[in-house]
Amino acid sequence: MTEQSTGRRVTANINLSLDGRYNGPGGAGDLGAIVPYATTDVARDHLTRIWESATTALLGRVNAEGFLGFWPSVAADETADPRDRGYAKWLVDAEKVVFSTTLTEAPWERTRVVNAPVADVVTDLKATGTGDILVNTSASLIKALLSADLLDRLYLMITPEIAGVGERLFDDGLPATKWTLTQQQAGPLGELTMVYDRAR
């Protein structure tokens, strides 16, 4: 593991229900409390904010399969919202690191598969290259980086629904940390987008 750093920021993006859940009672694919808010102007502007300074995307395998099965077609769709196309093109072109214990090689371009602790991989990434390292809605990776206190910025969208059941992002036992709110916006459906920077 490399100890030097180029000063690259480690950022993470995730959408949560009002009770802090990133999925609902139906499990990983239950995004019923999230999806209705994902296409508002506020949500799409937030999406642009997330990727515009990032050069590397970190994904868990499940998210990678979902994202990389969907977004490349949006990149090619001239009728898609320009903000969606911008994100899609970025995702296709960016360096991608997919964490998996089952994949042995990447079925996607500009992607490498790793089976290693996320904190070690991120520390190595910070030692080379430029641009933000974005953990793209992969909760297990975000949790690991929160535990290691390696996240510099959190992009959150909070939706005005209580899921009641589902997995929470902020588990008990995380180290106590302080964050500074650097941007916030309320959307027409009651969704809130926020950017928090780690106060060190």
Mark residue 8 as left, alpha or beta (left: phi above 0; alpha: psi -120 to 50; beta: remaining): beta
Measuring CA to CA, which residue among 155, 116, 158, 109 is closest to residue 134? 155
Structure tokens of 9? Answer: 């920021």
Select the more confidently predicted residue: 6 or 57: 57
State how far the Cα of 174 lies from the Cα of 120, in Å rounded to an integer: 18
Q: What is the mean pLDDT of the chain?
A: 94
Q: Are 21 and 167 in contact (CB under 8 A)?
A: yes
Select the more confidently predicted residue: 106 or 157: 157
- Provide the whole-model pTM: 0.93
> Structurally, what CATH architecture does the domain formed by 10-198 represent?
3-Layer(aba) Sandwich (3.40)
| Tens-digit pLDDT profile for residues 103-147 | 988 989 999 999 999 999 999 999 999 999 999 999 999 999 999
Q: CB burial class (10 A; 0-12, 13-18, 19+) of residue 155?
A: buried
| Tens-digit pLDDT profile for residues 74-91 | 999 999 999 999 999 999
Question: Domain segments of the chain: what residues?
Answer: 10-198
